Structure 1
Amino acid sequence: MTEFPLLLLCLFCGATVCRAGIFTAPEQISTSSYDFIVVGAGTAGAVVASRLSENPSTTVLLIEAGGLDNGTDSAVLSIPFLAGQAIGTTFDWNYTTTSQDGLNGRTMPFPRGFVMGGSSSINNLVYSRGPSEDWDRIAATADDPSWSWDNIQPFIFRNERHVPAWNNRSDVGEYNPVVHGHGPLMSSLTSTPSELDHRVINMTTKFGQEYPFNLDLNSGWLQTTVGESARSSSSTAYLHPALNSRENLDLLLNTQVTKLTVTGAAEMNVNGVIVAQNETAVAFTFIATKEIILSAGAIGTPQILLLSGIGPSEELDKNGITTLVDSPDVGKNMQDQPIIFLQWEVNGTTLAPFLNDEDAISAVLEQYEQNKTGIAASNVLFNTIGFLRLPENSPLLEEYGDPSAGPHSAHFQFSFIDTFLQNINQVAPTTGDWITVSVVLQSPTSRGSVTLASNSAFDHPLIDPAFLTSAFDIGTVIEAVKSLQTLLTTSTWDGFIGPPFTGNLTTDAEIETFVRAAAVTLKHPVGTAAISSATQEGGVVGPNLQVKGVTGLRVVDASIFPFAVGGFPQAEVYIVAERASALIKETWNLS
């Protein structure tokens, strides 16, 4: 990323006076000691840094490997219509998976945000907190009822608030105001419901027993992190306001943490970080007098722990790293959710012709640039979503058990998309009206890992999601595809649904062949520094998110989830970050 002069960075803050220190190199910082150091300005880290710096007597250093989210080429981050288009750019870590046995040996890109806001700046905007059972399962796993659904409610309200779409259309009856809060993160519904959306909602009215309607958060109308005609991310909602108004928060950009520093022998205390800007750059050390909060995400967090000597001793030895804490679960137990796309030509109006018209796209982007209105100012591609379960008498459940969080949690998910989205092995048609339905394995049983490729922080780790390596997982995706095919035969779709693009997938073998050739990541990795009870030997962090075996170090990001989440990780990570901030403040008696 380009290094910007400090004066120019201050102008980017959007305030008359820029109070915080924003630095593009560690040597620019005049102090080496802070109360708190937060590693990663992503979905969680930006929240934690913002909340801790609310106390003016507390000093906070936030370190981000990527750069600005409001500088050169940042329109791809902020414009809702362009959501997802930052993947593969300089705003992406541009990771790649290892060869996937369950996907015919394929490797694939594995996007993660490399920018202020992290993945909340490059994702597809979906906001879904997951079922209450998700949180109750975390509480049970951690043996700590404070993580339960009932007890995390204040942190939900502290994070998010519902706002209208740019055109102020009435969304009464499409969301439940009671379950929305007063936080800085904005969420909204689409400005322009489509014919597809109305058919989906109508289906839930006619066939509510098979396809029940849930007004808010889980199935039904989809909420996205869009407000005031732009993406609402952890950076725009939390970090920029804090940077614009506080002197006690410093942000260091374009800099990676290469290792944590530890003092003490009997009781090892993590007290600092070593940072550098590239493999050959001079290294600098910053000290935290109170705590270090590791929020580098489900990939970066285990990599930093391993590089610091916290992890499986066998792996550390192999990479020439001295073991400080033999913690076998660091980087293990990774879960992610695979996704495929199925497409149908339809007799109706969709966005497909518009998206095949470069002049039309240019016109809406020009309209957005002029006055922040139009299609580009809101989520329009997919506005309805369904979370569904296998039948109670499913042979898969009988043989393998139920991996979901409970009887009200999903095994698979459908999103209804108002255009043609192709799989990696397809070429999209350039004419006609098309819809796509994505099929997601919501509750996988396969578990992969994040391991070191070397002892250098600048070498990407080995990322193995182990997609579709269990019989339950591939069997569930097959059943999900068949369920979708049945769904589209209901009378709601009469006269609308035409032939499928893929032809008829009629047998389990045909569906399996298609899925293994087409599936990619939904970009929802979790579990690589999983939470467990305080007395349990396994796991990486305890109920208070402190790393086991050391003091002075917490993990606050998606890596702490012990299972693939029942909603979308973005929303759940925000909630974890709010609760973690409160825990840290309580520990240090900060108001």
Structure 2
Amino acid sequence: MELVKFIVVGLGLTAKYTLAALLTDPRHLPQTQWDYIVVGAGTAGCVVANRLSENPKVKILVIEAGVQNTGPDASAIEVPFLVAEASSGTTFDWNYTTTPQAALNNRTTAYPRGFVLGGSSSTNYMAFTRGSSEEYNRLASISGDSGWSWRKIFPYALKNEKHVASADNHKTTGEYNPSVHGNGPLLTSLPGTSTDIDNRVLETTKELHSEFPFNLDMNAGNPLGVGWLQSTIGNSVRSSSATAYLSPALANRSNINLLTNTRVTRLIKTNNLSSRFPTFLGVEFAQTASGPRFTATAREEVILSAGSIGTPQILMLSGIGDQTKLSKLGIKTAVNLPDVGMNMQDHPFFALQWSVNSTKTFDSIVNNATAFSDAFAQYEATGQGIFANNAIANHIGFFRLAESSGILKQFGDPTAGPHSPHYEFAFINGFYGTTQTEPTTGNYFSAAVILVSPTSRGSVTLASDSPFDHPLIDPALLATSFDQQVVVEAVEALQRFISASPWKGYIKAPYGGSANATTRDGILEYARNSVISIRHPMGTAAMSQTRARAGVVDAHLLVKGVEGVRIVDASVIPGIAAHPQAAVYIIAERAADLIKAAR
């Protein structure tokens, strides 16, 4: 769809930030030493900067490689229905690509990551899913710190998020559980526009209850079943880490300096805080590959929040990583930490489509210029209508393989427990494709299939010793037999779902390659040709127990073998079977308290 220009009043950065310094040129920094330097103003970095700045005595520098989250193209990251416009190929994206994926017939795929204030919270599909309580309990076990357990970390979930009215202000009783939501700065809401498939999805949960039960609120600790999608939308616009955390801090406090359009090139070794480990309290940064390098130092800590791609890249460029790999690029090893960039986990997904006996799908709007313009005018005037809604789905569902599954008998269960899912569906009221060409006529129903408990593990490695060269990103999508077999089982379950009576007379015929996904071999081949990343990289600087040789950070998120550096972003998560942005927010909230306690 054509990108519509739209500026949301009140979100402009330069108009609001009267106290803090918002800079685009490193030469204008007022000083070179700070208490804390936060590298990356993404999902986690904005949280950390906000919470640390609550103490007026500390001085904080935030360095962000990307652009501001305002401007003539800001509609792509503000208007909920335009979520796909924030994808690859925009000024808000790093425009990464993967290495050839062997299990995907050697295809390379785009790998979108947010190159903007708020990071990927400004460009993602806005799905807000915390994951199961078991996954946090497993994190507590992996790290050896009970503070990461569901019981102890849940207060941080309440501190992060506030559920608000949907765009249409409809009565939401029976669509979510208010008791598991808090009063935090991040706004979430339920769908604000009903669709023609909502009742069909819900009626199917009644007819096929044993396999596809209804879940009142999948953010309560047990995500299994079908429920109403909660999205990071408030007051008809996207709520991101930038709008919820960074903007208020910059508007009301004078102890933060934000430097944008500037890339951290490496961490610099400084005088040791102790004789035990080398200390890295220095940061080098630049705006171009050939431009001047600037430096700054932190008195307390450097907090790496550059994300699952940027964080390991910066560590390796600083000589912190696998000694053998670094030496091949001529980088002197300061700390031999082999797991940097390893253990990468991501969630592969693809969609199937069917033509339907209806004209009430979003195809009728996106393929009709007049209808599109009218719908946007309605949104601009009232904040309501389809543009106020998350385009991806009104309902999603998380599911497990049957306990008698031969896959589990053969490979074991990689999930955190019996309430943690293996795969996910998103039910879409229109045509959605991953590699397919979007039709310009007709009306469609689509269903996305997401593998949320993959056993495949990929990597992020350096392509060169230049911080301005993209690293090699290998998410290893569908690389294991387990992953491939679960995808097949998931599609077969989806076919059972749409065979229920609520869909009879509505679904007409499969579209394109979906017609070939009828046998196990056909499903797998369709997946190989259709799978892309759902943009959930994690684990590239994974948490582990302090004395464990594996992993990159300890339970307090401090980099092993290093003094002065803490990592707070999705790279520390060993794995979670959910859209990870909620977990990143929660982890960042607790991390801020850990940093305060250390001071």
TM-score (structure 1 length as normaliser): 0.96
CA offset at residue 492 of structure 1? 2.5
Instruction: Write the deviation string for residues 256-310 of structure 1: whole angstroms up to 9, x where unpaired.
Output: 0000011246421111100000101111101100001000000000000000011
* 2:399 aligned partner: 388
Could you tell me how far apart the structure 1 residues matched to 2:441 and 2:292 are?
55
Q: 1:575 aligns with which of 575, 586, 589?
A: 586
Q: 1:239 aligns with which of 221, 237, 246?
A: 246
Q: Secondary structure at the match of 2:43?
A: coil
* 1:250 aligned partner: 257
State the AA in 1 paired with 2:361. T
CA offset at residue 490 of structure 1? 1.6
Is contact 1:13-1:240 (8 Å) kept? no
Q: Secondary structure at the match of 2:344?
A: coil
Is contact 1:291-1:552 (8 Å) kept? yes
Pairs within 5 Å for 1:490-569: 490-501=500-511, 502-563=514-575, 565-569=576-580
Asked if residue 226 in structure 1 is aligned to residue 233 in structure 2, the reply is yes
Instruction: Write the deviation string for residues 42-77 of structure 1: whole angstroms up to 9, x where unpaired.
Output: 000001001100111111101000111022311111
* 1:204 aligned partner: 205
* 1:356 aligned partner: 367
Could you tell me how far apart the structure 1 residues matched to 2:529 and 2:304 are?
36
Asked if residue 428 in structure 1 is aligned to residue 434 in structure 2, the reply is no
CA offset at residue 25 of structure 1? 1.1
Could you tell me how far apart the structure 1 residues matched to 2:211 and 2:413 are?
20
* 1:378 aligned partner: 389
| 4+ long deviations beyond 6 Å | none
* 2:24 aligned partner: 24
Is contact 2:11-2:243 (8 Å) kept? no
Instruction: Write the deviation string for residues 336-391 of structure 1: whole angstroms up to 9, x where unpaired.
Output: 11111101112233222222112211222233334433221222441100101111
Q: 1:335 aligns with which of 345, 352, 373?
A: 345
CA offset at residue 229 of structure 1? 1.1
CA offset at residue 143 of structure 1? 1.2
Pairs within 5 Å for 1:264-413: 264=271, 266=275, 267-348=277-358, 349-413=360-424
* 1:4 aligned partner: none
Aligned length: 577
Is contact 1:10-1:22 (8 Å) kept? no
Instruction: Write the deviation string for residues 59-110 of structure 1: whole angstroms up to 9, x where unpaired.
Output: 1101000111022311111111111312220100000100110100110110
State the AA in 1 paired with 2:569. D
State the AA in 1 paired with 2:135. D
State the AA in 2 paired with 1:195. D
* 2:469 aligned partner: 459
After superposing the two structures, state which structure 1 stretch, 351-360 or 122-131, moved more: 351-360
Is contact 1:450-1:464 (8 Å) kept? yes
State the AA in 1 paired with 2:301. E
Could you tell me how far apart the structure 2 residues matched to 1:562 and 1:43 are?
17
CA offset at residue 505 of structure 1? 2.4
* 2:3 aligned partner: none
State the AA in 1 paired with 2:556. N
State the AA in 2 paired with 1:48. V
Could you tell me how far apart the structure 2 residues matched to 1:261 and 1:431 are?
56
Could you tell me how far apart the structure 2 residues matched to 1:11 and 1:184 are?
17
Cα distance change of structure 1 residues 370 and 194 upon mapping to structure 2, 3 Å threshold: closer
Could you tell me how far apart the structure 1 residues matched to 2:515 and 2:458 are?
33
* 1:415 aligned partner: 426
* 2:46 aligned partner: 46
Could you tell me how far apart the structure 1 residues matched to 2:510 and 2:178 are?
38
**Alignment root-mean-square deviation, CA:** 1.5
Could you tell me how far apart the structure 2 residues matched to 1:498 and 1:410 are?
30
Is contact 1:531-1:542 (8 Å) kept? yes
Could you tell me how far apart the structure 1 residues matched to 2:517 and 2:65 are?
45
State the AA in 1 paired with 2:236. S
* 1:65 aligned partner: 65
Instruction: Write the deviation string for residues 500-532 of structure 1: whole angstroms up to 9, x where unpaired.
Output: 112252221111111101110100001100000
* 1:469 aligned partner: 479
Is contact 2:270-2:282 (8 Å) kept? no
State the AA in 1 paired with 2:60. V
CA offset at residue 10 of structure 1? 12
Could you tell me how far apart the structure 2 residues matched to 1:478 and 1:371 are?
44
Is contact 2:82-2:391 (8 Å) kept? no
State the AA in 2 paired with 1:170. K
Could you tell me how far apart the structure 2 residues matched to 1:152 and 1:11 are?
33
Is contact 2:125-2:392 (8 Å) kept? no
* 1:193 aligned partner: 194
Q: Secondary structure at the match of 1:503?
A: helix
CA offset at residue 167 of structure 1? 2.3
* 2:129 aligned partner: 128
Could you tell me how far apart the structure 1 residues matched to 2:432 and 2:188 are?
24
Could you tell me how far apart the structure 2 residues matched to 1:378 and 1:443 are?
28
Is contact 1:10-1:18 (8 Å) kept? no
* 1:479 aligned partner: 489
TM-score (structure 2 length as normaliser): 0.94
Q: Secondary structure at the match of 1:35?
A: strand
State the AA in 2 paired with 1:116. L
Instruction: Write the deviation string for residues 402-429 of structure 1: whole angstroms up to 9, x where unpaired.
Output: 11111111111100000011231x2233
State the AA in 1 paired with 2:524. E
Could you tell me how far apart the structure 1 residues matched to 2:252 and 2:70 are?
17
Cα distance change of structure 1 residues 312 and 396 upon mapping to structure 2, 3 Å threshold: same
Is contact 1:190-1:380 (8 Å) kept? no
CA offset at residue 111 of structure 1? 0.3
Pairs within 5 Å for 1:69-148: 69-87=69-87, 88-148=89-149
Could you tell me how far apart the structure 2 residues matched to 1:325 and 1:169 are?
56
* 2:595 aligned partner: 584
* 2:5 aligned partner: none
- Unaligned 5+ residue runs, structure 1? 1-8
After superposing the two structures, state which structure 1 stretch, 483-492 or 172-181, moved more: 483-492
Could you tell me how far apart the structure 1 residues matched to 2:84 and 2:291 are?
32
State the AA in 2 paired with 1:289. R
After superposing the two structures, state which structure 1 stretch, 37-46 or 492-501, moved more: 492-501
After superposing the two structures, state which structure 1 stretch, 383-392 or 367-376, moved more: 367-376
Q: Secondary structure at the match of 1:83?
A: helix
Could you tell me how far apart the structure 1 residues matched to 2:409 and 2:440 are?
45
Could you tell me how far apart the structure 2 residues matched to 1:197 and 1:11 are?
35
Could you tell me how far apart the structure 2 residues matched to 1:201 and 1:554 are?
45
- Unaligned 5+ residue runs, structure 2? 1-9
State the AA in 1 paired with 2:109. M
Is contact 2:191-2:390 (8 Å) kept? yes
